[in-house]
Structure 1
């Protein structure tokens, strides 16, 4: 392993679950769990002090919800990216979390290797959504019928975004500049009425653009 490990704060109100997730992540050589929290407010305070790369956030906690914590982290301008890890995939939970600023959303029944990969992707600024979450989210980002269809290149860009590739990797894959990728993404967002990468991917599933 080279370079600094990805620093993580794990947030869950159940100590056994929290310890289990922390142990699972710590087993990866490039991941380091630097703190644990049992509520949303505690998570925000820890993130402010420890400056982690990723906060793995449960949603429903008696001491303060994960959604509120994600929103507060954004309001404070904290650097950490939020990856939701929860048992809930209802419309209200998924949409609220993504709108609050969560970069990814996984369910707790995800395999350990999926969680490890998701943390790495989240630290790199990539969008990670469980398939069921993407499907639920899609119903809330339906574009009007008058919206223009994507061009072939815009569709290619969206497919690569759905694979979790950052702009730089997409540019390499398509042999174009990062500026060109950003322009295509801007058009994709406009056409799909999406505010960010996660919403665009969800809309892509909804429209059948993504398999």
Structure 2
């Protein structure tokens, strides 16, 4: 049985160690390297020639999407399986559009993860139903969320709590004028008319705790 060479990329050492320990129990899977960030991932992909790369989306430096772009630019042929704790379609679609062969969540059953690695290695596309649906229908909802910057998401979360611009400025340590600019940008990007609609949008799409 041919081995599947796997490169693990995650900024948390405990996650990498756990994945390696489990995967090495499978005779057909061999871990050929561990990377803690995007740059290391690209470097190891070029030197170790993995068949499958397990890639976290949120990492210091280049995130998972940027890393996918770099892998593509360097001509890396490995299949990329995103392993993430994110479950918002807006955060997952960019990775798929940049060439990820599959997406699984970090709470996946270990045996299912091994199966997912084999599946993408064999050329299959493995996506959560909600991501596949968004790709098929061309839903614009995820695209709206993807337009927001990280700071705008912070401001939107504060809006959803019913806070005024002054309160948001104090909470996020921003100038009130800056908050006002962010609010205007949020309303435009979400295609909503006022703060109330923006707050409802935030709650509906799980942007609040």
TM over 0.5: yes
RMSD: 1.6
- 5+ residue gaps, structure 2, are 141-209
Pair 132,22 (structure 1): closer, same or farther in 2 beyond 3 Å: farther
When Rg is computed on C-alpha atoms for both structures, the one with the higher figure is 2
SS in 1 for 2:57: coil
- Cα separation, 2, equivalents of 1:22 and 1:137: 32
Within-5 A mapping of 1:144-159: none
Residue 7 of structure 2 contacts residue 31 of structure 2 at CA under 8 Å; is this kept in 1? yes
Q: Report the equivalent of 1:74.
A: 72
Query: Shift in Å at residue 90 of structure 1?
Result: 1.4
Pair 82,91 (structure 1): closer, same or farther in 2 beyond 3 Å: same
- 5+ residue gaps, structure 1, are 143-211
SS in 1 for 2:87: coil
Query: Shift in Å at residue 141 of structure 1?
Result: 5.4
Q: Report the equivalent of 1:127.
A: 125
Please state if 1:60 is matched with 2:58: yes
Q: Report the equivalent of 2:12.
A: 14
Q: Report the equivalent of 2:93.
A: 95
Query: Shift in Å at residue 136 of structure 1?
Result: 4.8
* 1:42 aligns with one of 40, 43, 49: 40
| Offset from partner CA, 1:86-133 (integer Å, 9 cap, x none) | 000212221110011100000011111111001001111111112343
- Cα separation, 2, equivalents of 1:21 and 1:137: 29
Runs of 4 or more consecutive aligned structure 1 residues displaced over 6 Å after TM superposition: none
Q: Report the equivalent of 2:106.
A: 108
**TM-score, structure 1 length as denominator?**
0.62
SS in 2 for 1:128: coil
- Cα separation, 2, equivalents of 1:11 and 1:62: 12
> How many equivalent pairs are there?
140
